[in-house]
Structure 1
Amino acid sequence: MSNATEPAAAIAAQVAALHTHFAQTVLPLWRGPGFSPAMQLPYEAMHAEDYTPLPVTRFRAMACARQLFVFSLAGDAAHAQALFASLRKYFRDEHHGGWFYSIDAAGAPLDTTKDLYTHAFIVFACAHYLTTSGDRDAAEVLADTASLIDSRFAATDGLLHAALDQSFSSVRSGLLQNPLMHLTEAYLAAHEATGDTAFETALARLTEGVARAFVHTPTGAIAELPIGTAGNRLEPGHQFEWFFLAARAGRAIDGSGLSAALERAFEFAERHGVDTLTGGVCAALNEDGSVQDPTQRIWAQTEYLRALATRRTPTDARALGSQIERFRARFLHTRGWYECKTAGGEIARADMPSTTPYHLATAYASLPTDSDARANPRP
């Protein structure tokens, strides 16, 4: 092997090990002990020590949708089909339209809030399930849910409310960054799955609104709350996540200016939010770059990996291999993963939620493979 291909090949081997852990350790947990055979739904979380589910108080539509995405991407058609059937059976509001936030342990509606975050994940999951299965019911659910989002959640300036009551008649939560980011992700997936240019139009409108309302001008970072809101915060993981989404959207969001802002946001988040000794990504920063929340959540680590692999500057390429290794050693283990750690490396949350495999899957899918190393050797 030539010297030019050695670093890339080494990274590809590290990535292959991540995929192996995911396929042999993570996925079996959610086909087996993490899955309720009676409800045909994933439990909210399981104990890391013995894989028993935490006491069941609810099942969430968003958790079901995330797992539908995971098993669609993994090519497990039977499990994905079961999840899609349960999503429609339990969470669809046949009277008012849209989707319930959660049901109780017996399957009755529990929280009937119409939550934008949940609806975005249903569009996202159905787009991937449609791509892998060809199920036309998924196409119908995708189209109906996207249309409902556009008509019922609309706020002002191209943005959308985060939550409404069951009948969509009153606002329960106004503008929040996180559901808008996942709606961006959903629109991208829906456009790729259907080819419908209306999703590009919606994407441009949404990102222009986000740029006006949420971008912190001094850093380029996208805040969690509209700029000027008291107690605002900047999450490094979300800067990395937005960086990937903006790169994937490409010319569709040129009018928003987000791509240029996120180049600066990446540098801000990396400089202030990533521990230089451990590679751990903190949960939140203040606008001046000081740490607001030092907790290290596994999803933020996966977004840093994905952003490094996406930006691909020579510095990023050199950092990616060491960051993969630090992530693997700090957050993965033979029985699963650590959900949260303190800055000092202590376990801050011991259970494993059903929503986390989505983060692992999206990150791993964006990391370079052996075929990438052969096709694109880098020094």
Structure 2
Amino acid sequence: MTAAQTNSALAEHINAFRAHFDSVILPLWMGRGFNDALGLPFESLDAATGQPLPVERYRAMACARQLYVYAEAPGASAGAHAERLFASLRRVFRDEAHGGWRYSVDAQGRPLDANQDLYTHAFIVFACAAYFRRSRSADARKLLLATAETIESRFRRADGLYHAAMSPDWRQPLRRPAQNPMMHLTEAYLAAAQVAEPALFATRLRGLAQAMSQSFLSAPTQCIAELPQGTPGNRLEPGHQFEWLSLVRESAEVFDGLDLVESLPRGVQWARRHGVDAGGVLAALDEHGAVLDDTRRVWAQTEYLRVLALLGDRAALTQALAAFRSRFLHAGGWYECLDGGGALVRADMPSTSPYHLATCLAALPAVV
């Protein structure tokens, strides 16, 4: 295929993906995917029918991810939906008694899990940054800064890492530092730096990046592991290597000169070599490249597309995007998880996944 043919095919795939997102995904979560009575997105829809699955809980993180999606989407209806999501996030999930944010509420909107979760707090910051860019709401900026200060004063440890969860009253760490919450904290602080206190957030980001290199970097692979080095049963997720490189490369000036800048490209090369095959991106490997989890999750595929766009590998991106559209997208939405042979593993569509589709799409136009 010539360069012109590649560009033409790539543009066709990107346009089709975007059209699917705009015409299917966005209306779905403003319609059947949204509980008007509570003002919250349902946790999950049936992939075959698009109908809400039985409700057990609503999570603050899911609401925040949906807020990001609609704050970034064009059009007055998306803006109005983002405004409602922001109001619901504050009303339902803010923990006024202890500060911070409760993890979840039950089917009636009553507090369910009041633990203080770093992953959740990171997405509050991320979503508020997006909503502030959209609305210029002073409340969104204020909430972003207050939540970031809570993260620094309550979750951050002396070694520069962050507890993954704390008790509702902040007195007891519940979960040790883990890769995923700190990656999304990096994402959140990068978004925050675009709208408030850029020098302050840059300092925090550099400290976080150095702590990740010191505690989570797998020396043989140069990948970032899911848990600190030396933890029994540790694993490497190829999708997270792609996600980390996208974050660091998109804000290269913040991370200039840090160890992570040197290690991440090598980790991505290792992940592409061992963690991607004809069926897509695998879920998890060990340090020797042995498969620990053969599931193909939709988010990992979108992160692979995103990093290919960032690296400017148009041939690989065209091929991967064509495969992604044929395997993971369908007329009513998407398939969340497939096995290596393409069989459906998970038959629901979680409200958290449109965020991954949106961040992927935001990376794609630059390559056309």
- TM-score with structure 2 length normalisation? 0.97
Q: CA RMSD of the aligned region, Å? A: 1.2
Could you tell me whether the CA contact under 8 Å between 1:175 and 1:225 is conserved in 2? Answer: yes
Q: CA deviation at 1:331?
A: 0.4
Q: How many residues align?
A: 364
Partner of 2:68: 69
1:343 maps onto 2:345 in alignment: no
Match of 1:262 among 261, 264, 271: 264
Match of 1:212 among 214, 219, 226: 214
1:37 maps onto 2:36 in alignment: yes
Partner of 1:49: 48
Q: CA deviation at 1:217?
A: 1.0
CA distance in 1, matches of 2:190, 2:11: 26
Could you tell me whether the CA contact under 8 Å between 2:70 and 2:82 is conserved in 1? Answer: yes
Partner of 2:294: 294
CA distance in 2, matches of 1:5, 1:344: 32
Change (3 A) 1:256 1:156: farther
Partner of 1:129: 131
Q: CA deviation at 1:194?
A: 2.3
Cα distance per residue 1:316-359 (max 9 Å; x no partner)? 22111011000100100111100000111100001100000000
Cα distance per residue 1:290-333 (max 9 Å; x no partner)? 11100000000000000101112xxx221110110001001001
1:166 maps onto 2:140 in alignment: no
Q: Provide the secondary structure at the position in 2 that maps to 1:229.
A: coil
Cα distance per residue 1:91-115 (max 9 Å; x no partner)? 0000100000000111111000100
CA distance in 1, matches of 2:6, 2:234: 40
Q: CA deviation at 1:193?
A: 2.1
Partner of 1:184: 186
Partner of 2:223: 221
Match of 1:119 among 118, 121, 139: 121
Partner of 2:7: 8
1:342 aligned partner, one-letter code: D
CA distance in 1, matches of 2:53, 2:124: 24
Cα distance per residue 1:149-196 (max 9 Å; x no partner)? 001101132111000000111000011000000000001000112253
Q: CA deviation at 1:9?
A: 3.5
CA distance in 2, matches of 1:32, 1:107: 19
Q: Provide the secondary structure at the position in 1 that maps to 2:127.
A: helix
Match of 1:319 among 310, 316, 330: 316
2:24 aligned partner, one-letter code: T
Cα distance per residue 1:220-268 (max 9 Å; x no partner)? 1000000111100000000000010110121212343112111111111
Partner of 2:196: 194
Partner of 1:304: 304
Partner of 1:377: none
Partner of 1:353: 350
Cα distance per residue 1:115-157 (max 9 Å; x no partner)? 0000000000000100011111100100000011001101132
Q: How does 1:145-156 map to 2 (within 5 A)?
A: 145-156=147-158
1:290 aligned partner, one-letter code: A
Could you tell me whether the CA contact under 8 Å between 1:208 and 1:255 is conserved in 2? Answer: no
- TM-score with structure 1 length normalisation? 0.94
1:366 maps onto 2:363 in alignment: yes
CA distance in 2, matches of 1:200, 1:244: 17
Question: Identity of counterpart residues, as a percentage?
Answer: 53
CA distance in 1, matches of 2:3, 2:285: 38
2:176 aligned partner, one-letter code: G
CA distance in 1, matches of 2:197, 2:153: 21
1:98 aligned partner, one-letter code: G
Q: How does 1:138-149 map to 2 (within 5 A)?
A: 138-149=140-151
Q: Provide the secondary structure at the position in 1 that maps to 2:360.
A: helix
Could you tell me whether the CA contact under 8 Å between 2:44 and 2:52 is conserved in 1? Answer: yes
Partner of 1:376: none
Q: CA deviation at 1:10?
A: 2.7
Could you tell me whether the CA contact under 8 Å between 1:11 and 1:368 is conserved in 2? Answer: no
Q: Provide the secondary structure at the position in 2 that maps to 1:288.
A: coil
Q: CA deviation at 1:24?
A: 0.4
Partner of 2:102: 100
Partner of 1:24: 23
1:282 maps onto 2:319 in alignment: no
CA distance in 2, matches of 1:191, 1:152: 20
Q: CA deviation at 1:364?
A: 0.8
Cα distance per residue 1:52-72 (max 9 Å; x no partner)? 211111100000000000000
Name whichever of 61-70 and 50-59 sits farther off: 50-59
1:89 maps onto 2:91 in alignment: yes
Could you tell me whether the CA contact under 8 Å between 2:50 and 2:332 is conserved in 1? Answer: no
Partner of 2:59: 60
2:217 aligned partner, one-letter code: V
